Structure 1
Amino acid sequence: MNAVLIAVGVMLILSLLRINVVLSLTVGAIIGGLAGGLNITETIKAFVDGLGGGATIALSYALLGGFALAISRTGIPEVLVKAILKIVQSEGDTQKKGAAKALIFLVLLAMAIMSQNLIPVHIAFIPLIVPPMIKIMNMLQIDRRLIASILTFGLVMPYMFIPAGFGLIYQGIIVDQMALAGLDVTLGDVPKAMAIVALGMAVGLVGAFIAYRKPRQYENIELETTNDLNKEVNKLHIIFAAVALVTSIAVQVMTDSMIVGSIAGIIILYITGTLKVKEADAVLSDGMRMMAFVGFVMISANGFSAVINATGDVELLVSGAMDIFNGNVSIAVLIMLIVGLIVTMGIGSSFATIPIIAAIFVPIAMELGLSELAIICLIGTAGVLGDAGSPASDSTLGPTAGLNVDGQHNHIWDTCVPTFLFYNIPQIIFGWIAVVFFL
């Protein structure tokens, strides 16, 4: 049996059994490496060598977590939460409570979308905004699986469709890797090719709203990560916090580094006195701990990816599938999409999946006679498949980090399974339709 299937299968089964994701990735990588013909020494070496690739991401998220918690202490989240709370506390007014729910949904969806393109901070906004809203969500009995679905939609759909921010990076990788595989395409063609798939995700979001519309009860637990909503908010601190946010974003864009951007924002908070020196160490440490799980998973996912690449079984997986369905274009496309899903589910990164699959898929697609738009759609969809739903993806880890601050939101069953059902399945269906349409 193919080593990639074994490695990903073991990781997913262990994760569904509620085994820690880091441990699941490690065990899956070791078993996959051995199944792929590597000995234990080679497997461990490949895994350890791959860990370093996730160190930068882990440090980025740790600093972002510290910066986010420092910002949260300035009062910005409280201002937003108080506005929603005024609506919620109108007892007996169902219409106003419905408006409060709609406001929460719209705010989180807008922020998630902007985090990918307009203000490219990625998941950094989640620990800043979501924890202070938990109390309100509990009062409104909002199913957190719906919030996870909203956030994941906003974290994935924009970069696959909108050519700005992270979208420009992702779509640029598609164009560059296709060129290396022997097919030159333009960046402007990518949004056209991905439009139908983006529509599929929108359909999935509607499905999530329908599935999780019923009230769900959670226990009200006091959180140390949220501030007292009754305390006086210093308007000057809010202004300085806004300056720190703008500075952080500007530096991140200029340097292409979340690490440098986060440090710049933290320095502004220090200089202005918004972050007190005597409190800074505790605040930043708490914020880093909040995002530590995400960092460890991303590090482990890089080790997992290195082992998969070392086995060479991704190529064998594709060629074997093509041999079975030789000549049937529709089935071949479907198989390639599923292979993309398997690879991304395992390594947790659409951006890292494209280089793995493009070199294999592009020659096969050209041999099958697919048009340029069809091949772009195939590569783009196969790459993005699995980002939603993967236990190792920051698009699922980010929502869980915000929603599980009180220990009542399970990463696998409350984030990964819902987003897999409502996004990966529509992506396969709409991606397959789009490729066939562009034939």
Structure 2
Amino acid sequence: MNSVVVAVLVMLVLSLLRTNVVISLIVGAIAGGLLGGLGLEETINAFSKGLGGGAQVALSYALLGAFAVAIAKSGLPHLIADKAVAMLGKNGDNPQKVKHLKYGLIGVLVLVAISSQNIIPIHIAFIPLLIPPLLMVMAKLHLDRRLIACVLAFGLITPYMFLPVGFGGIFLNEILLANLADNGLAIEGINATQAMLIPALGMLAGLLVAVFVTYRGKREYDIEKLQEAESISVSYSPKSLGMSVVAIAAAFVVQLLTDSMILGAMIGFLVFSLSGVINWKASDGVFVDGMKMMSMVGFIMIAAAGFAEVLRQTGDIANLVNNSAALIGSNKSLAALVMLAVGLLITMGIGSSFSTIPIISAIYVPLAMQLGFSPLAIVALVGTAAALGDAGSPTSDSTLGPTAGLNADGQHNHIWDTVVPTFLHYNLPLLVFGWVAAITL
């Protein structure tokens, strides 16, 4: 059996059995490396070599965690909670107000997540800053955090699949169309947005099912655990709230100017410290608390980079693509389904849809042209095959980001509350809608 398939399956099964994701990644990498002919020492060396690839993102998350704790200590979360309670009325017994606030919050989060990919292209940097302060509001509304994970994943993935601006401009134009052209497809006059419309509708369908069917009911969370995680006084002042706004704005502006989450988070944290909102002598403790909150996500990112490097060095990613092409024959419907499924497997393993396109396009483009797929269909096929797995991968920033914010109080499991819900609501519809796009365009 292909070593990539084995490595990904081992990692996923262990994760679903509630084995720590970092351990699952290490065991999966060893299994894949040994089966791929690397030998134990070569596998460990490859894994170690890849670790550095996740270090920058891990450090970014650690600094964002410290910044998020500083925001919590400013009293902003309690102000938001107080306003929400006031809107809900006494004991939250006004169903109409609860409904309006619930769907209003969901709508705002969708718009913010979408904007983070294009209007203000900060990607996942907003999550540790925005979501932890809203956890108290969500708890008061009895909102299921699995729904919020799906909402955030939709906003992080759909824009780059469909809108040719921001990260979407990179994905659609600089990576997808460029790789298709490099592999022999004439892309003159091709509108990537038109090609990806049907797959994007699959993402929308998944979101609507999550909001109005799967997670429409109430879910209880322990308020005391949430308050303990915040571990701050409920008092706040105009100065602390004002500096929160200044610090958040400064962090966002610095990141936009420098394209560095690390520098942006550091500047935001320094604003709190230098303004006196966070006592200078206590700033070290706040920083450590933030790093603790984000440490698991950081370690997963680092281990995922090592896992991906092992898969690359086995050489079996290319073999998987080649072997799948050999099985297809001349059946267009089967070809579309197999190519999408292989893309899902690869992206779930390496955790990046952007990195999947160069891997699969070299084989998929000539094969699809030979089978008679239209240029638009090929764009939809390769683009969807790459995007598949971004939601639902334990190592993707589209799942790690939501978990980072939603698990601030330890009441949100990465695998069962983020990975599984986003896989079911987005990867399954994408398989169907991507297949429809490939055979109809």
TM-score normalised per structure 2: 0.92
Deviation at 1:187, TM superposition (A): 10
Q: How does 1:248-287 map to 2 (within 5 A)?
A: 248-287=251-290
Matched residue SS, 2:90: coil
Q: 1:79 to 1:363 in 2, by over 3 A?
A: farther
Q: How does 1:239-250 map to 2 (within 5 A)?
A: 239-250=242-253
CA offsets per residue over residues 88-107 of structure 1, 9 Å max, x none?
Answer: 24343211121222232223
- Take 1:344 and 1:305, find their aligned partners in 2: how far apart are those partners? 10
- Take 2:222 and 2:274, find their aligned partners in 1: how far apart are those partners? 39
In structure 2, give the amino acid aligned to 1:127. P
| Aligned with residue 370 of structure 1, among 370, 373, 392 | 373
Are the aligned partners of 1:385 and 1:427 in contact in 2 as well (CA < 8 Å)? yes
Are the aligned partners of 2:123 and 2:156 in contact in 1 as well (CA < 8 Å)? yes
Deviation at 1:229, TM superposition (A): 7.8
Deviation at 1:381, TM superposition (A): 0.9
Provide the residue aligned with 2:46 in structure 1.
46
| Aligned with residue 235 of structure 2, among 226, 231, 244 | 231
Provide the residue aligned with 1:180 in structure 2.
182
Provide the residue aligned with 1:425 in structure 2.
428
In structure 1, give the amino acid aligned to 2:102. K
Deviation at 1:256, TM superposition (A): 2.2
| Aligned with residue 357 of structure 1, among 354, 360, 365 | 360
Provide the residue aligned with 1:112 in structure 2.
113
Matched residue SS, 2:196: helix
- Take 2:140 and 2:270, find their aligned partners in 1: how far apart are those partners? 37
Are the aligned partners of 1:53 and 1:299 in contact in 2 as well (CA < 8 Å)? yes
The answer to which of 52-61 and 104-113 deviates more is 104-113
Provide the residue aligned with 2:222 in structure 1.
219
The answer to which of 240-249 and 306-315 deviates more is 240-249
Q: 1:397 to 1:251 in 2, by over 3 A?
A: same
Deviation at 1:434, TM superposition (A): 1.1
Are the aligned partners of 2:73 and 2:233 in contact in 1 as well (CA < 8 Å)? no
Are the aligned partners of 2:15 and 2:24 in contact in 1 as well (CA < 8 Å)? yes
Provide the residue aligned with 1:25 in structure 2.
25
Deviation at 1:425, TM superposition (A): 0.4
The answer to which of 308-317 and 66-75 deviates more is 66-75
- Take 1:79 and 1:219, find their aligned partners in 2: how far apart are those partners? 19
Residue 142 (structure 1) aligned with residue 143 (structure 2): yes
Q: 1:414 to 1:42 in 2, by over 3 A?
A: same
Are the aligned partners of 2:80 and 2:133 in contact in 1 as well (CA < 8 Å)? no
Matched residue SS, 2:216: coil
Deviation at 1:227, TM superposition (A): 6.4
- Take 1:67 and 1:176, find their aligned partners in 2: how far apart are those partners? 38
Are the aligned partners of 1:77 and 1:132 in contact in 2 as well (CA < 8 Å)? yes
| Aligned with residue 332 of structure 2, among 307, 311, 329 | 329
Provide the residue aligned with 2:305 in structure 1.
302
Provide the residue aligned with 1:125 in structure 2.
126
- Take 1:396 and 1:221, find their aligned partners in 2: how far apart are those partners? 26
- Take 1:227 and 1:300, find their aligned partners in 2: how far apart are those partners? 30
CA offsets per residue over residues 355-407 of structure 1, 9 Å max, x none?
Answer: 22222322222332322222221221111111111111121122222222333
Are the aligned partners of 1:68 and 1:125 in contact in 2 as well (CA < 8 Å)? no
- Take 1:215 and 1:255, find their aligned partners in 2: how far apart are those partners? 41
Where does structure 1 lack aligned partners over 5 or more consecutive residues? none
Q: 1:82 to 1:162 in 2, by over 3 A?
A: farther
Provide the residue aligned with 1:99 in structure 2.
100
- Take 1:369 and 1:20, find their aligned partners in 2: how far apart are those partners? 45
The answer to which of 74-83 and 27-36 deviates more is 74-83
Q: 1:226 to 1:321 in 2, by over 3 A?
A: same
Q: Considering only aligned residues, what root-mean-square deviation do their CA atoms show, in Å? A: 2.2
Q: Between Structure 1 and Structure 2, how many residues are aligned?
A: 437
Provide the residue aligned with 1:74 in structure 2.
74
Deviation at 1:192, TM superposition (A): 1.9
Deviation at 1:184, TM superposition (A): 5.6
CA offsets per residue over residues 50-101 of structure 1, 9 Å max, x none?
Answer: 1111111111221222223223333444443332221224343211121222
